Chains A and B, each alone.
Chain A
Amino acid sequence: MVVAVSIGAVNIPVGDVWGILLRHLTSGGATDDPALDQIVWTFRAPRVLLAALVGAGLAVVGAVLQTLVSNPLADPIVLGFSYGASLGAVLVITLGGAALGGLGGLGVSGAAFVGALAAGVLVFALGQRRGRLAPTRLVLAGVAVGYVLLSLTSFVQLLATPTELRTVMFWMLGSVAGAQWDQLPTVAVVVLTSTVVLTLFGRRLNALLAGDESATALGVDVNRLRAILLVISALLTGTVIAVAGGIGFVGLMIPHLVRLTTGADHRRLLPLTALLGAIYLVLVDLLSRTLTRPNELPLGILTALLGAPFFLWLLRRNKGLDTV
């Protein structure tokens, strides 16, 4: 991560980066070179940390949702959470805070968070049958809600000015360029706590792999488990998307990569997925700000472009996924 901090529009020797970081972490004093200090401490360090947290969060949500709805295609996008966040964010960007009253007061991040949660609640409500959360129903509800939200988002975009549209596009494709230190504590707490809590549910998630009825016979209250995990997932997605926008692929592919290499036991899968998600997004963010130096590419473009070929290669090597 320190290396990631050192590379960018201006390359800074790794040694100097360590020096600057250490000085801030110990005494908080200013450095000899204020420009370098600002690049490292104000811009790059929070950005790399945020990329790691966002990558970890998205990947963990994906892994949990895939098991929760027994569908290898599930991720925050398929279940509509991401589109809820997009609608919230785009509304604030185009119509501005004033037009929206209370919602506007939340800013883009707040609106995205509320949007993701609202979509989660809606999918949750529609995915029930006889008071039970049915996997297929949840996925279908998620896809349907997602389409509606996407249409609304597109409609709102028609009302946007070209400048606003650029902001919207950049947000929807995802970026951690705007990272600031004061965002990090909340995101860090949510991502780390959720990952730990979800890992504690690992044994029960494993049981869920055996099917709903079998899991029940293994002493798991399947309906309650689904409800708890959906709430945590929506919270986690909302928090992450609110600060980084709609980054695709990570939630879908990273969990499968880990499953294919180290197996599906959630007590191992979730921590490793978080780790790989973090590493992956830090690397992608690094590329996004170096490939077209000094311009930047949105993360969402690169995550899939880089990850998909590798994933397809792994898929061809491994026949185990055919039967998922």
Chain B
Amino acid sequence: MKLTVDRLHVSLDRRPILREVNLEAAKGDIVGLVGPNGSGKSTLLRSVYRSLRPAGGVVRVGGDDVWELSARTAARRTAAVLQDSGTTAGLSVTEIVALGRTPHHGLLGRDGAEDREAVADAVARCGVTPFADRDYTTLSGGERQRVLLARALAQRPELLVLDELTNHLDIRARFELLDLIRSTGITTLAVLHDLDLAARLCDHLVVLHEGEVVAAGPVLEVLTPDLLRDVFGVRGDTERHADGVVRITYAAQPLALDREAEPVER
């Protein structure tokens, strides 16, 4: 499903966090949202999964303003994997995956064949089956993220919102998760701290800096040496290698450029 963010303004405690943000993800696209800490990435995600009402502008999922939809209708379109892990102790892995069926039921709704099928599919697809009966708290970081991704897929969403899905995971778990996301074919908006991973996963990147979009487009066009220096404060260069993977090469002293330009006074 198509995602359109149109001239979005968001404020928290009257402090503007996002200004005039535009973003688009075509059906099936994987769009990476990158930027330094505090640039407004998570805030942008919150307005997409309908947690934060914007002060101005519109977020459209499948052509509808998410705030015109009910919370449940919006959640049947958009699923999110976030960083608040909650206190799911006491729920089994399968029960956590089944939380994904929440928006498909009202107060009187009972689990039916469709729910069981959606949960079983998600469990199988995310490779959760081997630990489906274990306690969530005994799982490794990579296993936990698979469970949360399975929960999102059990929602049967048409847009996935991911906040730092691969944080604290070992390299293999990261690659496996990225492959898994690619294999779903679902339109995805993903916040990623690691630019290498972002370059590997995404079709397009959107760079946020101090609440504004400073660059957007195909990975190679966005991650230029100038942008790496101006936004992230590091020196580096990006190129597509023969195997098709985009890699970033960082220089030995990331801030050397800045030091040459503005000598630090002591």
Contacts and interface: CB of A to CB of B under 8 A. Distances in A.
B99 interface: yes
A130 interface: yes
Contact of B90 (A200, A208, A320): A320
A320 B107 contact: no
A322 B75 CA distance: 32
Contacts of B76: 219
B75 A210 contact: no
Interface in A209-226: 209-221
Interface in A49-75: 70, 72
**Top 10 A-B pairs, shortest CB-CB distance:** A264-B90, A219-B75, A219-B103, A211-B84, A211-B86, A217-B80, A219-B72, A323-B137, A218-B102, A210-B86
Nearest to B76: A219
Contacts of B107: 200-201
Interface string B93-119: 001100110110101110000000000
Nearest to A72: B87
A215 B51 CA distance: 10
B92 interface: yes
Interface of A: 70, 72, 130, 200-201, 203-204, 206-221, 259, 263-265, 320-324
A213 B105 CA distance: 19
Given A70-B86, A217-B51, A219-B76, 5 more contacts: A206-B95, A207-B102, A217-B49, A263-B92, A321-B89
Contacts of B89: 264, 320-321, 323-324
Nearest to A269: B90
Given A210-B96, A265-B91, A320-B137, A203 B84 contact: no
Contacts, number: 102
30 contacts: A200-B108, A204-B102, A206-B91, A206-B95, A207-B99, A209-B91, A210-B84, A210-B86, A211-B86, A212-B84, A217-B49, A217-B50, A217-B82, A218-B75, A218-B100, A218-B103, A218-B155, A219-B74, A219-B75, A219-B103, A263-B90, A264-B88, A264-B90, A264-B91, A265-B95, A320-B137, A323-B87, A323-B89, A324-B87, A324-B89
Nearest to A199: B107
Candidate in A201, A217, A321, A323 with the most chain B CB atoms within 10 angstroms: A217
Given A209-B91, A210-B96, A217 B86 contact: no
Contacts of A211: 82, 84-86
A206 B85 CA distance: 13
A259 B91 CA distance: 9
Contact of B88 (A72, A204, A210): A210
Contacts of B49: 213, 216-217
A213 B82 contact: yes
Nearest to A210: B86
B79 interface: yes
Contact of A221 (B71, B109, B161): B71
B20 interface: no
Contacts of A320: 89-90, 135, 137
